Structure 1
Amino acid sequence: MSNPVLPGFTADPHLVVYGDTYWLYPTTDGFDDWSGTRFRAYSSTDLTRWTDHGVILDLATDITWADAYAWAPAAVERDGRYYLYFCAERAIGVAVADSPAGPFRDALGAPLIAADAYPDQMIDPMVFVDDDGRPYLYWGQGASYQVPLHDDMVSFDPARVRVHTPEGYNEASFVIKRDGVYYLMWSENDTRSADYRVAYATSGHPLGPWGARRDVVLAKDEAQGILGTGHHSVVRAPGSDDDWFIAYHRFAIPGGDGTHRETAVDRLHFTGDGAIARVTPTR
């Protein structure tokens, strides 16, 4: 495995496992003001050789309520259908398909979460499905909004929305569960900053309350020229008990910046007491 794992400029990678296959859903990057309009999907069985499945959702042709700012896709499977949560025009939408490669179609014909639904920015969705099959939606820049999703995967009760603002939180909530402990991870600082990084807290419930910020998970390595490491996702390798990987973006090497980023994948380890060890970013 070598980094970057995808060609060109990509960011906000959502790495997920379906069966024995890894799927990556990134933001298409390289545009001023993050003004991309399309999402693509990539698959691999070894995290090394990736198949590009082309455009799976195009705002211009597939979405009636937004034209630009296609960011931060997140995918999940439920009862044989595939749901893609995404940002567009600083709102959050959801699309559905019968295949992880799409094509995806707008599930609602309107945003799932409008741009002005709550304070701060309504971006960076993520869905976590617990062991009992209950799904939870996370999103938000400036604050982490969290709510149980209904079984239809495209609605929720606004009265049940919780908001958390962990120390250092900026955006990109991501939740995993290991040995009965829930880990909430997020990105700190601005994606245009070389100091963009990932930190975490833990809880005994998928909606918190979350304990104090425990540590940084992933940060820049200036000696290697690796900067701006953040907006990540985490998966356990198929068939493994405790083999984990983290996907994230960083400034493209060489000469990248906050709108010219690339996707990397590295190993994620836990210590004996359940803490997340600091990730070593690689080239």
Structure 2
Amino acid sequence: MDFLLTDKRITMFKWWFFILLLTTGTMLHAQQASDILKAPKTVLAGVYADPHIVVFGNKFYIYPTTDGSEGWMSDYFTCWSSKDLVKWKNEGTILNLKKDLTWATERAWAPAIAQKNGKYYYYYSADVNIGVAVSDQPTGPFKDPLGKPLIPKGSFKGQMIDPMVFVDDDGSAYLYFGQGNCNMVKLNEDMISCDLSKVVVITPQGYNEGPFVFKRKGKYYLTWSEYDTRDPRYSVAYATSDSPMGPFVKAVGDPVLKGKGLVQGAGHHSLVQVPGRDEWYIVYHRFRIPDGNGYNRETCISPMRFDDHGDIQPVDVFEQVKSVKIK
């Protein structure tokens, strides 16, 4: 009799345990659905990565990598514009590798843009080379002035990708680039050539890719992405210097941008200052929500702030961006 009673208790326990598991699973699913609804909004419709943001005139522009293919095999670049950082317009394709280049057909990655001499200079990765294109308008179309890469693959250690150009107050322009190694070289006045024998390696500790340089209150900031873009830990760190050529001293502490909760793989960023104000925003990609990964990423914007010493404060990836007008 005691055996039968114990057996019944075991059976009842199994049923209660099953019900508990079912209830817990339902609650977790509901919580996940709720979290997804609360996720910060993306700014570009679709999957786009490696966004480069800039201000030209009274508009913001974003130049991203077209995402969504395993191995990142896109063959074209687009441009997006906005008057308020919230609503974005797709300006269409501005450079098509298969149509506009003779030396590369795929792997169109991580562009950047700079304005000088009354023209717009567009720097990009194509087949693991770095190219440059020129246009009279920020929305293109852009044309290849060289008929060859600006920096061919294999020129230096690491991959020849992720170009970024910083134009200083005196008009001098500097090109930063590289995966695995962070390289830097001063561009010639024409913005489409440089002396490769003068390339300097400035790789900071933890650097992987995606360099971006900006200047604030006389201080130069070198920012970059750590880990791999397919890694949920992908994040952004920074260093500072008194010169655009370094040496750069890495900031102490945690990354200034990293994922949290359902936001994963937050990195490969760029920064923009609202003209006339000490107001800054960081644009970056994350794994698509839901079900994203290193090949399916989406573009977001978050406010970025500094303390009284000029140190970058940790970015809240859940803070929504409000409408910003350029006066």
| TM-score bucket of the superposed structures, by smaller chain | over 0.9
Question: What is aligned with 1:235?
Answer: 272
Return the alpha-carbon distance in structure 1 between the equivalents of residues 287 and 236 of structure 2: 15
Return the alpha-carbon distance in structure 1 between the equivalents of residues 96 and 291 of structure 2: 28
2:209 to 150, 168, 171: 171
Q: Please state which structure has a larger fraction of its residues in helix.
A: 2
Question: Is the aligned partner of 1:81 residue 2:119?
Answer: yes
Normalising by structure 1, what TM-score? Answer: 0.97
Question: What is aligned with 2:33?
Answer: none
Measured after TM superposition, the shift of residue 79 of structure 1 is: 1.9
Q: 1:196 touches 1:228 (CA, 8 Å); kept in 2? A: yes
**Largest Rg, 1 or 2:** 2
Measured after TM superposition, the shift of residue 213 of structure 1 is: 4.1
How many residues in Structure 1 have an aligned counterpart in Structure 2?
279
Q: Structure 1: where are the runs of 5+ without partners?
A: none
Question: What is aligned with 2:225?
Answer: 187
What is the DSSP-based 3-state SS (H/G/I as helix, E as strand, rest coil) of the residue aligned with 1:238? Answer: coil
State the Cα deviation string for residues 9-63 of structure 1 (Å, max 9, x = none): 0000000001221000000000110000010000001011111110000001001
Return the alpha-carbon distance in structure 1 between the equivalents of residues 222 and 247 of structure 2: 11
Question: What is aligned with 1:261?
Answer: 297
Instruction: Report the AA paired with residue 111 of structure 1.
Output: P
Return the alpha-carbon distance in structure 1 between the equivalents of residues 41 and 58 of structure 2: 21
Return the alpha-carbon distance in structure 1 between the equivalents of residues 197 and 100 of structure 2: 30
Question: What is aligned with 1:247?
Answer: 283
2:307 to 260, 271, 279: 271
Task: Please say which of residues 271-280 and 75-84 is displaced more in the overlay.
Answer: 75-84
State the Cα deviation string for residues 75-111 of structure 1 (Å, max 9, x = none): 1111221111000000000000110010001121000
Question: What is aligned with 1:218?
Answer: 257
Question: Is the aligned partner of 1:152 residue 2:158?
Answer: no
What is the DSSP-based 3-state SS (H/G/I as helix, E as strand, rest coil) of the residue aligned with 2:302? Answer: strand
2:110 to 72, 95, 108: 72
Measured after TM superposition, the shift of residue 159 of structure 1 is: 2.7
Instruction: Report the AA paired with residue 217 of structure 2.
Output: D
**CA-based RMSD:** 1.0
Measured after TM superposition, the shift of residue 158 of structure 1 is: 1.9
Return the alpha-carbon distance in structure 2 between the equivalents of residues 99 and 228 of structure 1: 33
Return the alpha-carbon distance in structure 1 between the equivalents of residues 201 and 136 of structure 2: 32
Q: 1:147 touches 1:161 (CA, 8 Å); kept in 2? A: yes
Q: 1:20 touches 1:238 (CA, 8 Å); kept in 2? A: no
Return the alpha-carbon distance in structure 2 between the equivalents of residues 212 and 29 of structure 1: 30
Q: 1:194 touches 1:227 (CA, 8 Å); kept in 2? A: yes
State the Cα deviation string for residues 154-179 of structure 1 (Å, max 9, x = none): 11112321102211100011001011
Return the alpha-carbon distance in structure 2 between the equivalents of residues 83 and 5 of structure 1: 24
Q: Please state which structure has a larger fraction of its residues in strand.
A: 1
Measured after TM superposition, the shift of residue 214 of structure 1 is: 3.3
What is the DSSP-based 3-state SS (H/G/I as helix, E as strand, rest coil) of the residue aligned with 1:259? Answer: coil
Q: 1:138 touches 1:173 (CA, 8 Å); kept in 2? A: yes
Q: 1:146 touches 1:207 (CA, 8 Å); kept in 2? A: yes
Question: What is aligned with 1:3?
Answer: 41
State the Cα deviation string for residues 121-169 of structure 1 (Å, max 9, x = none): 0000000001111100000000100011111001111232110221110
Return the alpha-carbon distance in structure 2 between the equivalents of residues 67 and 125 of structure 1: 18
Return the alpha-carbon distance in structure 1 between the equivalents of residues 105 and 198 of structure 2: 30
Instruction: Report the AA paired with residue 221 of structure 1.
Output: K
Return the alpha-carbon distance in structure 1 between the equivalents of residues 41 and 149 of structure 2: 34
What is the DSSP-based 3-state SS (H/G/I as helix, E as strand, rest coil) of the residue aligned with 1:61? Answer: helix
Instruction: Report the AA paired with residue 257 of structure 2.
Output: L
